[in-house]
Structure 1
Amino acid sequence: MLLLAVLAYFLAPLVLGVSVKAFQLQRGELIQTVVASGRIETPARVDVGSQVIGRVAAVPVREGQTVKSGQLLIELEASDEKAALEQAAAAVRQAEVKLRQFHEQTQPMAEQALRQAQVTLLNVQKQYDRQRELVAQGFIGKAQLDDAQRNLDIAKSQYSSVQLQLQSVMPKGSDYQLASAALEQVRANLHAAQARLNHSKITAVADGVLILRDVERGDTVQPGKVLMVLSPLGLTQLLVQIDEKNLRYLQLGQLALAQADAYPGQKFKAQVAFINPGINAQRGSVDVKLTVAEPPAFLKQDMTVSVEIEVARRKDTLSLNVEAIRDAASSEPWVMLVEHGKAVRRAVKLGMPGDKSIEILSGLKETDVVLPATGVAVAEGKRVRADVVEKPVAMR
């Protein structure tokens, strides 16, 4: 018995495979966050600047003035932008009229032309049939039948041509699709023109007091220069530095969880209120400010804080621990899963990343068991035992 036990101990890895920790996929909610550190600012200060280069046409506020959210602070000259907006709006109206013509004129006319071509084809077909009978009876010569055949061929060609014309002006036809695409394009141009015009008006992001004004009418401004500093009323803000590689994920209004380093575990809610239009070249970061609607009593000026900004959320999605993904940064990520007791390579399509897990769009199912990318090396096709299955945490 002792000999059998010893043999079983040494032969088990050969027969059943090595024992390796593995991960199982999990279905649930996945949250992507951007993590940063910074400090408390109270009262908050918001740097006001321009997103575009332009000449200042008006500065209707003064330093020390209390302003309302949305109130105009600086207006840039925008005659070109206004003209571009009017031109884009005219192009949209023209494209809408052209598309409407398909429904009101082009399609009905094409349908009528098709009906007429069909009637003509039927008449010519009947004439051809009569001519063929007369030739068979010897009443007319074959030359007249040849003329009838040519007329029939022409009628068929005209019917096919009109049929194609009708198909092209229907909603799935090429001409209609081109007109529809043209309308979408000019609408996009209109939105872009409106956005450029909006950049000419710099407004207050919140109620507050202007504690600095460094701009006058006639000045030429450019992105990155602080023109005013606004101190919102009654707001506590967090000033954090975000790595510029994460700038594409950030938007105004995003929610976040923060905690002071002096009070770990006591998290409080915050919201992105300002994203600096300029990049700090020395640090390679962007200054971001978050407002705290209900600040805890322990928050103090310049206190160090850590912030997790929620930039995306997926509900009821499939995710896997990032430690199981191989070549994750490449165009062809893959995993080694356990299938019928053997290691099998499987290509996967990745989606949104979380903090500890990443969304799996295709390639795996919820019951799959996947080997870690590091640790015990298991070659494809080798037997393996996933004795311990770790379920990744799909939440942040």
Structure 2
Amino acid sequence: MKRWIWIGLVALSLGLTLFGLLRPRAEQGLAVTVAQAERGEFVREVRATGVVEARVYTLTFSRPGRVAEVRVKEGQTVEAGQVLAVLETTGEQAQLRSIREALRALQSRAQAAEADYQSNRTRLQNQLLEVRRNLRVSVELLRVGGVARSEVERLERQVADLEAQLASLGQARTSTQRDLQAQLQTRQTELATLERTIAQSSLRAPVRGTLSSVGYLVGVETTAQSAGAALGAPSIRLVEAGSLRVQARLSEADVPWVRPGQPVRLELDAAPGQPLVGKVDRLGVQAEVAGTGGSAVLPVFIRFLDEKAESLARPGLTATARITTLRLPSALKVPLETLVEEGGQTYLWVVDSATRTVRKQAVTVIARNLTQAAVEGIPDQSILVSLPPEALKEGARVSYRLSGPEARP
């Protein structure tokens, strides 16, 4: 009995196997890779690399001296006009006091001389008036024989003598004034020179900014330096606030898409994972060739808008800029590999999920980026053939696998 049971089981198994091999199979179709059209924000970016730059002031003392104070340190933010370092001015301050005392003494002398002149002039003028009055009376009396001619002559001599004294007094006053004025001018020149020297002993920030280096040390002698200080000479370097920017190199193929004011996402090689916000400030006026036989590149200047750029960005650092040249809030997006270009027209192979057949659909391409295109002419969520094979024909049956709720075998 068991033997017949085993024979039956074996026969059933062979029958089932033979049926599976011989039964007619449904046509599976051409195997293809598919993608799905999705609606969402479409962004087109242009990428460029560049270097951070800024307006940097190299500050030095304009006169020699010994450093008395350094009031700042590297990395500190300073305001315009703030004192950064000071030279010793002990000797100059002593000279300044001495010259000011000399000026006060000269001014006192000038005031005293003027007061003395006015007093003597008034006295002589009063005497002259009195003598002239007496002379007029004597002349009248001489006509009637009331006085002798000698008296008239004496009074005339007194008038002439007093007039001469007044003239001499005026000349002496002019000479004294000229001498005192010369001395005052000399002292005032010395005073102005010393005040200028003392003012030059304070090194001040010309603008608001951040100190990138402080090269002065207290007690060290320094020589006068011009604005372009010699290499290695002590100085204080100040990066002007708000002047940080990136000068990037833009491929000539990307130039038509870039305009001033476009938003930029910046990332410093020295601070990966900390993107900064910026905007296109302006484009350069002259392109240059990138390397021997290379394509042309155009400088594009990008201004930082992020406050934290002041703490992260440093002149000379390398940065990558992603310039947003187009942003569509709601666009139908398809992968670039689904597009087919024929005869100046763009097509997509659209899959009918119910029949698993394809049709060729003309579409309008609104914009492209590196991976996607924004199109019009097909419904949302359309299933599209990616990298369509040449053997694909209108109405052909296909097999595919799509991830997500629309997946089909």
TM-score (normalizing by structure 1):
0.46
Higher relative contact order (CA 8 A, sep 6+): 1
- Computing the radius of gyration from Cα coordinates, the structure with the larger value is 2
